[in-house]
A and B are shown apart, each in its own frame.
Chain A
Amino acid sequence: DAGVIQSPRHEVTEMGQEVTLRCKPISGHDYLFWYRQTMMRGLELLIYFNNNVPIDDSGMPEDRFSAKMPNASFSTLKIQPSEPRDSAVYFCASSSGTGRPNEQFFGPGTRLTVL
C-alpha cells in the first residue's frame, strides 16, 4: 500500500489567495483526519470524517477553513483567504474502524507558507 498521499508537498502563496490541500487515505480506511502542526501550538486536530461524513470540526480555527470528503478516497482542506498565520505543516491521517481502531496512519504533510 502506498500509504496516505498528500499533495502538494510544499505550497508557497501570498496572503489573500485560496489554498487547497489534498489527501488520499489508505484504501479501506473509514476515518480521515486533518491536523495542523506549528512550533507555537504543536499538533492540532482540525477536523475528522467517518465514512465521508464530518464528525468533529471543533478544531477548525475559523470560517476561512473548510474541508470536504466527496468520496472514500479523497479529501480536501481549503483556506480562503489565506493569511500568514496559517503557515504550518498540514497532515492528513487515516485509520480503520476495525482491529486497532485508533491507530492513525499519517501522510508526509504539506508545508504551507503564506507570505
Chain B
Amino acid sequence: GENVGLHLPTLSVQEGDNSIINCAYSNSASDYFIWYKQESGKGPQFIIDIRSNMDKRQGQRVTVLLNKTVKHLSLQIAATQPGDSAVYFCAENTGGATNKLIFGTGTLLAVQP
C-alpha cells in the first residue's frame, strides 16, 4: 500500500551560514526543554537544554531561545557545517514529578557545501 509518513519540515542552508530551527511546544506548564540531533542510523544525541526560568542559553556554536509567552523554542547554529546535517528534535518535560519527555516531529537540516 501507499507509504504515508510524517512530512518533516526541511531547512536547507549553505555551509558557513547560520541556521535557525523552530519548535512550538504544547504545554504551558512545561519547565524543561531539550534539543536533540539525530543522524541517519543513530539514536538522538543531546545538544543543549534550557529551563523555563531562562530565556536564552548558549553552547558551543549553538544557542537556544525560549519564548514562554508564545510557547516557542528555537535552536540557532552558527557557521553551519556539513556535519550538522541531521534531523533536529525539540522535546519538553511537562513538569511535576514526571521525567517524561514529549518529542516534536523534527526538522531536517540539510547543509549544502
Residues of A within 8 A of B (CB): 4, 31, 38-43, 45, 48, 50, 55-56, 91, 93, 95, 97, 100-109
Q: Which chain B residue has the least Cβ–Cβ distance from A106?
A: B43
Residues of B within 8 A of A (CB): 3-6, 32, 34, 36, 42-46, 49, 89, 93, 98-106
Main secondary structure of the interface of B (DSSP, over half): loop
Chain B positions within 8 Å of A91 at CB level: 43-44
Chain A positions within 8 Å of B36 at CB level: 106
Question: In whole angstroms, what is the CA distance A46 to B98 when docked?
Answer: 14
Is there an interface contact between B6 and A107, defined as CB atoms closer than 8 Å? no
Q: Which chain B residue has the least Cβ–Cβ distance from A39?
A: B5
Q: With A40-B5, A42-B6, A109-B43 in contact, is A103–B34 under 8 Å at CB?
A: yes
Q: Select B43's contact among A42, A48, A108, beta carbons within 8 Å.
A: A108
Q: In the assembled complex, how far is the CB of residue B60 from the closest CB belonging to chain A, in whole angstroms?
A: 16
